[in-house]
Structure 1
Amino acid sequence: MAVSNNITSILNFIAILCSIPIIGSGIWLASKPDNECIHLFRWPVLILGILILLVALAGFVGAFWNKQGLLAFHLFCMAILIVLLLILLILSFVVTRKDGSYIVPGKGYKEYRLDGFSDWLRSHVTSSGNWGKIRTCLAQSDVCSKLGQEYSSFDQFSAGHISPLQSGCCKPPTVCGFGYVNPTLWINPTNPVADTDCYLWSNDQTQLCYGCNACKAGLLGNLRHEWRKANVILIVAMVVLIWVYLIGCSAFKNAQTEDLFRQYKQGWV
């Protein structure tokens, strides 16, 4: 096997290793309750990671058995996948740039405003056509039921760092002034604040605040937090893949030159 093909094999092995954290990030995102309820955000990273793995394997096979056609196909496909990964990263950064959270005095958790998030993210997730299905999905999950197991007193709950989704969907907004019984059971105040969410809250465990704007905002806050964490891994993987791809292109050209020189030498002899 030519020296250039040896280098290409090593590079594709590195690309295979890079696909593993991408696939892992995709699995992690897909397993989150909010992403389970929003199919558009659930699969892109996982699908890209699997495709990168398959293309890198094809490149490894092509280099090991000196299949120049397979190597050329591998480089073409890898270029497309790197561009798609870059587009996904740019899109995720743009739509998660705005943070709709605000600090609640005396609380360990934050609450969220719907108008604090990007227009695209807000319109896709909270539109009337999508929210009904998302709401039903969230109500069937164990997002809120976990709170009762984790916090047994008001002080513990107030100091707790609950997720944005739990903050928005599992309790009434703090401004409403509800009395605490447990994390998902609250006593209506005598003079409720004139906020729509205060009237939408229900102690029915299948209703809670799933119809509230606070729940929609909490869902967006969860998405933002998770995708920001995943982006760190994706950026590192993308930088390594670009480096591997550029060296791979150079090695591919050198391998072609070596083959031409070998054929010329054999013909001359």
Structure 2
Amino acid sequence: MSSFSLTNDSLLGILNIIKFLFSITILLVGILLSENAALTDCDRFFYKPLIWFGVFLLLVSLTGFIGACFYNHLPRMLWVYHVLMFLLIVAGIIFTIFAFAVTNKGGGRLLPGAGYKVYRLGDYSNWLQNRLNNNRNWNKIKTCLVESKVCSDLYSKYWDVSFNKFHQKPLNPIQTGCCKPPNECGFTYVNPTRWVEEDWQVYCENPDCKAWDNDQNILCYNCESCKAGVLDNIKHSWKKVQWFYVICQMLLIIMYAVGCFAFRNILIDES
């Protein structure tokens, strides 16, 4: 093989070493974000696409490296590599667009005089709503919310404050939606996780008012406001990785283009 072909083989090998290191970086980022998810196990599975993307890129880069190093013996390996890279890039672009689409809707609404926002399930994308309305998915998340003691921590932090002071605290979406009843229920405040329903409130139109229970294992975990709070948390979690996906796709497209140029030169030199 001529020196020119060897140069292109070497270029493909170097590119795939870079991709291999890049895939390790993606895996580490995905695992790190997963391990430090805001709700620990609750939203950890939403980082799985990033981890699988890293694993697939690692395997593809190994395929390309082997194909570049042993082209004389495994000429079809580079064809397989380029097809897999193309599919990986297309899948990554589709997922990135999808992630932007499903996290574009929704957000909290400010309350006059309150330090926190309220969240409504209907404000978020139908796809995310359907995921959480699935009983199997929600039961897992609900169990995790109880085990994470997010509401117990809220009680420990503000147990001795008055309602007016509590109303001005900067609660996060989970605390707002899952640890207290919706404001329109009008329940009497005792402490952050204990609210008393008056007799005249039995006809409250919001179904979350009936779902509320002072049992610390129930609270508002069955409320739509709790699902909305979880969705807002998921939305911001996905936002953390969306731009990382975009940067990954841009780098992969550049490396793929350079690799295609080098592979084309190898084929021309072989013909």
Q: TM-score scaled to structure 1, two decimals? A: 0.81
Which of the numbers 196, 208, 226 marks the counterpart of 2:237? 226
| Distance in 2 (alpha carbons) for counterparts of 1:45 and 1:156 | 41
Distance change >3 Å, CA 251–CA 148, structure 1 → 2: farther
In the alignment, structure 1 residue 166 sits paired with structure 2 residue 175: yes
Distance change >3 Å, CA 44–CA 179, structure 1 → 2: same
| Distance in 1 (alpha carbons) for counterparts of 2:115 and 2:58 | 41
Distance change >3 Å, CA 257–CA 140, structure 1 → 2: same
Distance change >3 Å, CA 252–CA 128, structure 1 → 2: same
In the alignment, structure 1 residue 62 sits paired with structure 2 residue 67: yes
In the alignment, structure 1 residue 256 sits paired with structure 2 residue 257: no
- 2:48 partner amino acid: W
Q: Residue 188 of structure 1: CA displacement?
A: 3.8
- 2:254 partner amino acid: W
The residue aligned with 2:153 is: 146
| Distance in 2 (alpha carbons) for counterparts of 1:114 and 1:211 | 12
Report if aligned partners of 2:42, 2:145 keep a CA contact under 8 Å in 1. yes
Q: Residue 40 of structure 1: CA displacement?
A: 6.9
CA deviation map 1:8-38 (0-9, x unaligned): 2332233234334532453355443668457
In the alignment, structure 1 residue 14 sits paired with structure 2 residue 23: no
| Structure 2 residues not aligned, in runs of 5+ | none
Tell me which moved more, 245-254 or 39-48. Answer: 39-48
- 2:192 partner amino acid: P
- 2:52 partner amino acid: I
| Distance in 2 (alpha carbons) for counterparts of 1:179 and 1:162 | 19
Report if aligned partners of 1:35, 1:223 keep a CA contact under 8 Å in 2. no
| Distance in 1 (alpha carbons) for counterparts of 2:122 and 2:83 | 42
Distance change >3 Å, CA 157–CA 77, structure 1 → 2: farther
Report if aligned partners of 1:184, 1:203 keep a CA contact under 8 Å in 2. yes
| Distance in 1 (alpha carbons) for counterparts of 2:91 and 2:169 | 39
Tell me which moved more, 48-57 or 204-213. Answer: 48-57
Which of the numbers 3, 7, 10 marks the counterpart of 2:7? 3
Tell me which moved more, 231-240 or 31-40. Answer: 31-40
CA deviation map 1:82-136 (0-9, x unaligned): 1211121122122222114211223332221111111222123214564344433
The residue aligned with 1:267 is: none
Distance change >3 Å, CA 35–CA 91, structure 1 → 2: farther
Q: TM-score scaled to structure 2, two decimals? A: 0.81
The residue aligned with 2:30 is: 26
Say what the alpha-carbon RMSD is for the aligned residues.
3.0
| Structure 1 residues not aligned, in runs of 5+ | 262-269
SS in 1 for 2:150: coil
- 2:177 partner amino acid: G
In the alignment, structure 1 residue 120 sits paired with structure 2 residue 121: no
The residue aligned with 2:81 is: 74
Q: How does 1:39-50 map to 2 (within 5 A)?
A: 41=46, 43-50=48-55
Paired-residue identity, %: 40
Q: Residue 218 of structure 1: CA displacement?
A: 1.1
Q: Residue 139 of structure 1: CA displacement?
A: 2.6
SS in 2 for 1:210: coil
Distance change >3 Å, CA 42–CA 189, structure 1 → 2: farther
In the alignment, structure 1 residue 97 sits paired with structure 2 residue 101: no
Report if aligned partners of 1:35, 1:42 keep a CA contact under 8 Å in 2. no
| Distance in 1 (alpha carbons) for counterparts of 2:239 and 2:255 | 25
The residue aligned with 1:243 is: 254
Distance change >3 Å, CA 142–CA 37, structure 1 → 2: same
SS in 1 for 2:118: strand
